[in-house]
Structures are given as structure tokens and as C-alpha cells.
Structure 1
């Protein structure tokens, strides 16, 4: 009986030893049952309210491959505390023929999934409510409700019994000087971007030691985020302005604005850094400049259908790694250089020129008859060879198993029919070797992945038709949106590298791998490195210009 162990603990405050304790108890149980532990999976300091955990995802993947037939954990809440997730996990394991067993519940059944899943979800809700009650009491005493903002330090104190006293903080005078400067510069007419530029140029560290950006300064007045909107600077502590929910699809926390009636406001004059007159003047200037932003979904611009550009979100700066943003209607520029001033790449590029350059180059070189036929023929031949070798190897192992069983039966009959002790010992040694070989084969087959089907020999023509259709769709307004989505699955990143007064285009993704092969078409051995498929689908980059001359832009 092959069994996999799973262990998890929730927060950084818990110990790594918790993982080892869970695994040790599970191993002892497996030994008592006579089970063979084939692997163990762990997640450290990760909440059980989401299935998006690397250890658990690896366990699910291996279960689908038949690597084991039992999952053993200390309790169901180690696997998941979410009702939907534990039910989904149970369904996946059942589909794969894998039993779920815990030390607390025993064999997990539908009844456990329903009842314990509900109890675990209620436990999380109750824990959250208790935590919020404790934080509210702390805020009403004038102490911090959690988190640390720029301009203050945490005061570490301990009670007579050795327990830490939480929530106290004091003004950090060095950071307070920066806060006062930001307010003064803003009232003097400087923009948040200009203030960020100056602070970064002088090397002034921002919140948590990061660089200053415009949004760090102007933030969102309605949500109370950003240096200019932090009411603690005028001695007013506001708690419960926002609530946080976990996105069920991504597992990430997202914030929502609570009704103002639910806010908890406490006066803490000893925490004041900015005088009231300066604060009121800043609020007046913010309103005059219309910095007030709407909640997600309330922005009137969101009601308009805005086109999604082909490379939106994919264009990166080759100097700092930051994103390129629209700095005017048609012009793209480095966001870090524009907003923070910490990148010296000031070269811009027209969005339509970038798209036209890349599309034209791809079409020219990917549609070149000799190239794509040579590529497809070589690629198809190499991939099919590797897949046939893998398939033949698996077939040979499967065929060997029944032969071993027949040999074992013959040797067993020889032992039963022989009275010669020495001969029996020799036969027993052969049987042991065969049994070891059988175990190795079964393990290899259990872990092996079936090779994909062979590629069609007419791949060159299929390839040509699809590239042609994709390019034509990108030129048509009717099919552009759908074709752009397909195209974006093949291009992971478009990096613009400044070289003197020009920008070179660098592609990353599957299409880059195609072009990389195109550049090495005289040396098809490029396919023999880690496997033909890996060579095609690797995340290698190609500077457009090696087998694909880019259009460069002088500014």
C-alpha cells in the first residue's frame, strides 16, 4: 500500500518543528498499518483557506498520476479549512482512486467532508471575529490596530508576566521630517511625481525602505491610503475603514471599503505630526485637482469599452525591468523612469509602430517557405523519434513484468520439487533479484508519464495555415480581439532594450523559441539538448535582430 504524507502549518508565528511532528506521527501510523511511504508534501506558513499551495498542488498532481493510493495527514484541517476546497479535494482524490486518511478522523468519507468541512469553516470565521474584537478594543484604547505606517516606530514593551504589550508606537523623528516635507512641497504646488523624483534623487528611503512613487504619496483619499491621506498624521486613528476578502480564484486578498458608519475613530493627539491647517489645505488642493478616485466598478471610464492592445501589460524596460506605460495617447515610456526617476531609460516608442514591427517581422520569418518547412520537418521528425523511444521503453517495461512473474513461478516450483538445500538457496537468490527488478519496474511505471501522441507528418502545411490565419485576423477589426488573445499566449514578454538612442526589441515566450530555432536552422542539433519539445517551448529569449532584424526607433 503506497501512501503519501501531507503536513502544513498556518503562520510565521508557528514553528517548522510542527511539520516534523505531523510527519513523524503519520509515519508511525503508516508503519503500524504496514504501508509504504513513497513521498511527503509540506506547506509552511500557508493558510488552509486556499488550495493554492505548492505542496498540496504537487500532491494532487502526483495523485492523478497514480504515484500512491492513500493520502495520510494529521487531521482534515491540515488539508483544508474551506468547505468548497475540501469537497473538491475529496472529489479529485476519489476520481484518482486515492483514499484520504487522517489520524483524527480515520478514513475520510462524504459525511466527514460535509460536517468537518463546515466545522472548520466556522472555526475560521469565529477566529476572525475574535481577532477583530481584540483589535477593536486595542484601537479604542488609542493603540495600533495592526500594521506600521511611515513616520512611526513600534514600541516593544513587556508586562510583568513576560507577555508582550502590543499596539504602542512612537513618532520616528527622521521619518516625520520627510512627512512634513512632503506636505509642504505639495502645498507649494509640486506634484506627487515631482516629490517622488526629488526624494529618490536624494536617496531618502520610502516606506519599508522602498523607492518613492507618486501613488505612495497621493494614494487614494477615499480609502485613506497614501502619505497625504493618513489621518494618523493629525492625531486621528481610523480603524475598520477597509475589510479584506480572499479571492477564491487566485487566493489573494482584496480590499473593500466599509460603510463610514462602521469605522472606529479614536483621537490620539500624541501621534500628531502635521498641524490641522496644513492638513485642511492639502485636502482642499486634492479636491481641486480631482485626485479623488472612485471605487472599483464606479469609475465612469470603466463603462466605456476600451480596446485591449496587443502587448498591453507585456512590454518591459530592458534597463530596470519595470513596465512600459502609456505616457500619451499613442506613446509608450518606462513607468519607473517617468514616476520614480530611478531608471535612466528615457526612450519612448509609438505603440502602433511597436506592434507593426513585431507582427511584420514574425510574419516574414515564420512564413518563410523554406524556413517553416525545414523547421517543421526536422521538429516533427525529432519529436516523434523521442516520443517513440519513450513509448517503446514503457512498452518494454510492461512486457517484462509478466515474464518476471512467469520466471518466479518456475523458480518456486523448482524449490518445492527440490530436496537440495544449496540449490534452493541459489534459486532463492535468483528470486530475490527478480523481485527487486519487479519492484523497480513497477515504481518506474507508476512514476512514468505517457508520451503525447505523435505529431502529424503534414505539420508544415498546418503550421503555415495557422500562422497565416492568425496574422490576417490581427489585421481585421472583427477578429482582432480574439486573435490577440491567442497571440498573447505565445508571447510572454516584450522587452525594449535601450542602446544609445535606439530601442532593440527582445521577445520571450514560445514564438521567441521558434525564432531561436530559425536563427539556428543550419544547426538542427539545437533540438537534441533537453528534448525537442523543451527546446521549442522553453522560455528562452531572442534579441530581435538575430535572424530577425528589428525596426529601431530614433527619438
Structure 2
């Protein structure tokens, strides 16, 4: 009889000599029976729940080719821990008239396959539950359940029992600086791809020492992956976002999200890297990107979105049919419905640079109106005074409460000195002392008076004059364009007397209305081919006016 042996151990935590031990036991049985060993199939550090094992695949292939007459293993669970897989192997061996023998169970029959297969499957399920329980316990202790996020280092110390501790982390200052840089640049309008390219040019290693990529930064917001979605940076340890199930066809694990009520969340303020305000700015930008990305007037998934190539791409629309105004050639904007469907009669076009120049010049001239500058300075001071007034009132209330608590503490101390003491007085004193500590911790400091630049009006005027240059500055144009586009919901191109009239729609119109309201005579902003009208967003008055 030509005999073959199969041996396997599951993980790197087990000894590699486990395979040698299994082979030695099987060899004793072969020698006892007088069989001849022809092949040893082995898999090292691979789970028995998968078929993706080189030794196991070679075993089944040789069984089909009749390379051996009998198969030996230490036990059935060495061959597989999956009921379906062990049953399929038994069918194959039975069809080829190859007996399956194990040292633990002897010659295997259908009864062994049913019972041992069920026991192995239950063992895997029980092991998974115990592992999950252990990891949850570690998270409840505010420690890592496995893996270390970028921005942190593992702390390796010995516990009181002499055993090494696991899951302890501290902030890596160098990597934390990179994280703050990534969050700040994304919040200011830069794309993940541009941020990744800049980090690679600086020679900064990404997580696990690899190069940076857009997906490393943006990740998947639903699963909490990627730098921008890691809540640990805000001092929150979130675990159990997802579970894994095995694809029966490929044997690979697939992630499935868990409902939020199953998440485990622990506060770890000592691990905070990103302040709440910056985190919220990033989340707001991600939400806006997912909800407002429009290409050719139809919504697409955010991960397939592209940044607008030009300053006003995607927000220009035809004033006749409401369709998009797109680049019909390299330089000219025209109605998409004229070009693609022939359903609109607005055949006028405009050069892209002429449109951008006209809008920016119009904004510049309106923003330079002195009434607008004065209104800006006055509104700033009024808002500052209002906020300071609220803070002063809150501080006065807190000071009054603190004085009251201190008087009550003094009264109790005096009573104790006079020989009056009870258990209730002790509890009250401890409660008052705790309240006093809370008030002192949260006591706000007096704000400094506002410091306005003495040449604020001139500085404002100079910045506005250089508006076009700022939008073309590599260091500023991404953020400046992002903010400008956020104030404009649409740019309508309306044909009138053989030329295109540009109508701006959005909050920017209401801002410019401040200067417009104080003008005795509206200055004319017109070129050879266009004029401009501004329309305020919903809730603003006046709703329309001309520059």
C-alpha cells in the first residue's frame, strides 16, 4: 500500500515542530501496518477553514491522479475544520477507493465525517466568540484591540504580574505633526491626491513605511478607514464597526458593517491629536463633497468624483433651458443641450478666460466700495462685543457661585472647629470641595480687547485689488477657489440682445448688496459681450440688483 501523510498547524503562534510531530505519529502507524510512505503534504501556519493551502491542493490533485493508495493524518481536523470541505474530500477519496485513516479515530466513515465535521465547525465558532470577547475586554480597558494606527507607538512594559502588557499606545510626535498637516490641507481645499503627492515629494513615509496614496488619506467613511476618518485622532476609541464573513467561493474574508448600536466607543483624551473644530471642518467638507458632486448635471458616487478643472466648472448653467454650460471646445463655454441634444436655441458662447475675468473684476469693483469696508469693520466690532458680553455675564455668574461655595465651605469648617460634626456634614463638605474644583477648572479668563490693524481698510483694499492674482497663486488658489465656489450656487448665462448677460446666484450676492445699498449711482460693469446681475440666495434681500 502506497501511503501519503498530511500534516498542518494553524498559526505562527504555534510551533513549527508540530508538523514534524504529526508526521512522526503517522509514520509509526505506517511502519506498524507495513505500508510504504510515498509523499508528505504539509501546510505551515494556515487555518484549516480555508482551501487556499498549497499542500492541501497538491494532495487533492495527486488523489485524482492515483498517486497513493491510502491517506493518513493525525486527526480529521488537521485535514479541514469546514464541514463542506471535509465532506468533499471524503467523497473524492471514496470515489478513488482511497481509505482515509487517522491516528486519533482510526479508519474514517460517514459517521466520523458528520460528527467530527460538526465538532470542528463548532470549535471555530466558539473560538471566534472567545476571541471577540477578549478583544472587547481589551477595548473596554481603553487599549488597542490589535494593530497600531499611524500617529502612535506601541508601549511595551511589564505588568504587576510580570507579564508584558498589550494594547498600550502613546502619540508619536513626528507622525502626529504629519496628521495635523494632512487635516489642515484637506480642510483648506486640497485634494487627497495632491496631499499624498506633496508628502511623497517631502520624503515622508506613509503608514507601514509605504508611499502615500489618495486612498490612504481619504479611505472609506462608512467603515472609518483612512486618516481623515480615524476617530482615535479626536480621542475616541471606536471598535466593532465591522465583522468579517468568508466567501464560500473564494475563501476570502469579506467585511460587513455592523449597526452603530453595536459599536464600542471609549474616550481616550490622552490620545487626541486633532482638535474638534478642525475635525468638524474636515467632516463638513467630506459631507459636502458626497452630496454636491455633479458631473454633466447627474450625481455620481463621491469616490469617482474629480476636482473641477477650472474656477467655475460645474456651476455654470444656461439661462434659457437650465442645462449646463460646458466647454464646447478648448476655450469656449456653450450650452450642453445645444451641442448634445439640439433642444435649446441659446447658441451664444463665451471664452472661459473672459468669463472668469469679468466675474472677478465685477467682484473686485463691488468689494472695494468704502461702505462695504466700513460695514465689515463695524459688524466685526458688534459681533465681538456681543460675544464678549455673553462671556462676561457667564463669568460673573460663575464667580458668584464660586464665592457662595467658598462661604458654605468656610461655614462648615467653622462649625467643625466649634465641635459640631456629623457624617452628613462630611459628605456635604466633600461635595462642595468637588464643586469648587470644577468651577476653578472651567473658570474662563478675561478676554483681551480686540486689536484691529490700523491700516485694515487699506489692507482689505489691497487684497481685493489682487483678487485675480490670489486665485492664480499656487499656494492659495485651491483654498480661495473652494471658498469662492461655496458662495456661488450658480452662474446663469442669459442671452440678451445678441450678448450673454451673467447672473450670479448665491450668498455672495447678499454680501455685495451691502456695498450696493449705499451707492448713489451703480457703476457699470460691462464688456463688449456681457453684463452682470447678482441674485441673492434664499432669505436675502434685495433679491436682485445690478453692478
TM-score bin, normalised by smaller chain: 0.5 to 0.7
Shift of 1:163: 2.6
Residue 10 (structure 1) aligns with: 10
Where does 1:405-444 land on structure 2 (aligned, <5 Å)?
none
Q: What's the CA shift string for 1:58-90, capped at 9, x where partnerless?
A: 001011111111111111111000111110111
Residue 201 (structure 1) aligns with: 201
- Gap change, CA 1:81 and 1:207, over 3 Å in 2: same
Q: Distance in 2 between matches of 1:32 and 1:145?
A: 48
Q: What's the CA shift string for 1:153-188, capped at 9, x where partnerless?
A: 111123344432211111111111111110011112
Q: Which runs of 5+ in 2 are unaligned?
A: 294-298, 308-547
Residue 143 (structure 1) aligns with: 143
Shift of 1:327: 9.4
Residue 61 (structure 1) aligns with: 61
Residue 43 (structure 1) aligns with: 43
Q: Distance in 2 between matches of 1:58 and 1:271?
A: 49
- Gap change, CA 1:123 and 1:107, over 3 Å in 2: same
Shift of 1:301: 7.4
Q: Distance in 2 between matches of 1:224 and 1:292?
A: 21
- Confirm or deny that 1:248 pairs with 2:248: yes
Q: Distance in 2 between matches of 1:3 and 1:211?
A: 50
Residue 324 (structure 2) aligns with: none
Is contact 1:220–1:292 with CA below 8 Å preserved after alignment?
no
Residue 71 (structure 1) aligns with: 71
Where does 1:121-200 land on structure 2 (aligned, <5 Å)?
121-200=121-200
- Confirm or deny that 1:263 pairs with 2:241: no
Shift of 1:98: 1.2
Q: What's the CA shift string for 1:282-326, capped at 9, x where partnerless?
A: 100111111899xxxxxx979xxxxxxxxxxxxxxxxxxxxxx99
Shift of 1:144: 0.8
Q: Distance in 2 between matches of 1:162 and 1:45?
A: 29
Runs of 4+, deviation exceeding 6 Å: 325-328
Shift of 1:261: 0.8
Residue 215 (structure 1) aligns with: 215
Q: Distance in 1 between matches of 2:279 and 2:190?
A: 16
- Gap change, CA 1:292 and 1:5, over 3 Å in 2: farther
Which fold has the larger relative contact order, with Cα–Cα distance below 8 Å and residues 6 or more apart in sequence?
1
Residue 487 (structure 2) aligns with: none
Q: Distance in 2 between matches of 1:177 and 1:282?
A: 17
- Gap change, CA 1:174 and 1:141, over 3 Å in 2: same
Is contact 1:3–1:37 with CA below 8 Å preserved after alignment?
yes
Is contact 1:238–1:266 with CA below 8 Å preserved after alignment?
yes
- Gap change, CA 1:193 and 1:270, over 3 Å in 2: same
Residue 90 (structure 2) aligns with: 90
- Gap change, CA 1:285 and 1:301, over 3 Å in 2: closer
Shift of 1:138: 0.8
Q: What's the CA shift string for 1:495-547, capped at 9, x where partnerless?
A: xxxxxxxxxxxxxxxxxxxxxxxxxxxxxxxxxxxxxxxxxxxxxxxxxxxxx
Residue 500 (structure 2) aligns with: none
TM normalised by structure 2 equals 0.53
Is contact 1:236–1:269 with CA below 8 Å preserved after alignment?
yes
Shift of 1:96: 1.6
How many residues end up aligned between the 2 structures? Answer: 300
Q: Distance in 2 between matches of 1:117 and 1:47?
A: 15
Residue 517 (structure 1) aligns with: none
SS of 1:177's equivalent?
helix
SS of 2:84's equivalent?
helix
- Gap change, CA 1:74 and 1:45, over 3 Å in 2: same
Shift of 1:210: 1.1
RMSD (Å), alpha carbons: 2.1
SS of 1:274's equivalent?
coil
